[in-house]
């Protein structure tokens, strides 16, 4: 059974995918409708694929009509952040091809990602709402918006990046 980890923002979940290696290679299920411990009441209706080059930031945006995003890095590494503006809290997760994980982000949080490895990142993301070409469900902010100021990151207030404008290029604190 795959393991779901609840992160510090309500509804943000990290799902460990099970890999099945053998002498031929590796097989991994990346989505099943019976994964209720991850999906809850969500129904996935669309899958998207993107390639993003090293050091590129794709942020910030959010959704106002109930969209939930599920991120999976299948090549390369990305830092995904979700920010709760009301609580000034952020979740930061590194997704990579080395650890097959599916990250659930409710769309009402500001969210985005940065490629952190030396090669392009290949990302598959699933959504529970079809994209509306006429009226997209997206509100955007600049990637370097000075109003994104987390007081806590991953539930911790002792991170030196707290209480400062978010900097995508500042390294992760351990």
pLDDT in tens, 88-109: 999 999 999 998 999 999 999 9
* Average pLDDT score over residue span 127-153: 96
State the total domains in the chain: 1
**CB count in 10 Å sphere of residue 36:** 11
* C-beta of residue 75 within 8 angstroms of C-beta of residue 97: yes
- The CATH number linked to 119 is 2.60.120.10
Parent domain of 148: 4-25+44-131+142-153
Mean pLDDT, the chain, whole residue set: 94
Please give the DSSP secondary-structure letter assigned to residue 63: -
Is residue 121 in a domain?
A: yes
- The predicted structure's pLDDT at residue 149: 97
Q: Give the tens place of pLDDT for each residue, 16-26.
A: 999 999 999 99
Residue 33 located in a structural domain: no
How does strand 152-153 pair with strand 89-96?
Answer: parallel
User: Domain for residue 69, yes or no?
Assistant: yes
Tell me, what's the pLDDT at 3?
Answer: 83
Kindly give, in sequence order, each residue whose CB lies less than 8 Å from that of residue 39, ignoring residues fewer than 6 positions away: 33
Of residues 46 and 3, more confidently modeled: 46
Q: Tokens 């500001």 appear where?
A: 110
Residue 58, domain member (yes or no)? yes
What average pLDDT does range 65-77 have in this prediction? 97
Q: Residue 75: pLDDT above 90?
A: yes
Torsional sign, CA 149, 80, 34, 4: negative
d(CA 107, CA 96): 21
This prediction has a pTM of: 0.92
What average pLDDT score do residues 23-35 get?
92
Furthest CA-CA distance within the chain? 50
Bridge partner list, 106? 68
Q: Is residue 39 part of a domain?
A: no
* Alpha-helical segments (H) within the chain: 36-39
Asked, for residue 102, whether it belongs to a domain, the answer is: yes
Confidence of residue 174 (pLDDT cuts 50, 70, 90): low
End-to-end CA distance of the chain: 29
Contact 82, 159 (CB under 8 A): no
Is residue 77 domain-resident?
Answer: yes
- pLDDT at site 173: 65
For residues 74-94, give the mean pLDDT. Answer: 97
- Which element (helix H / strand E) includes 5? strand 4-6
Mean pLDDT, residues 143-151 taken together = 96
Q: Is residue 53 part of a domain?
A: yes
């Amino acid at each position: 059974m795959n393991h779901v980890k609840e992160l510090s923002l309500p509804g943000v979940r990290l799902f460990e995918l099970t890999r099945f290696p053998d002498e031929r290679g590796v097989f991994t299920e990346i989505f099943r409708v019976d994964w209720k411990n991850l999906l809850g009441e969500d129904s996935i209706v669309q899958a998207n694929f993107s390639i993003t080059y090293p050091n590129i930031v794709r942020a910030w945006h959010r959704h106002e009509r109930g969209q939930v995003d599920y991120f999976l890095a299948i090549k390369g590494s990305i830092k995904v952040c979700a920010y709760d503006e009301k609580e000034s809290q952020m979740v930061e997760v590194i997704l990579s091809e080395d650890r097959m994980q599916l990250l659930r982000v409710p769309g009402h949080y500001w969210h985005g990602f940065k490629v952190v490895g030396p090669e392009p990142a290949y990302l598959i993301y699933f959504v529970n709402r079809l994209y509306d070409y006429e009226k997209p469900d997206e509100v955007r902010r600049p990637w370097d918006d000075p109003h994104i100021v987390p007081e806590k990151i991953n539930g911790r207030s002792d991170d030196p990046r707290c209480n400062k404008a978010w900097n995508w290029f500042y390294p992760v604190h351990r």
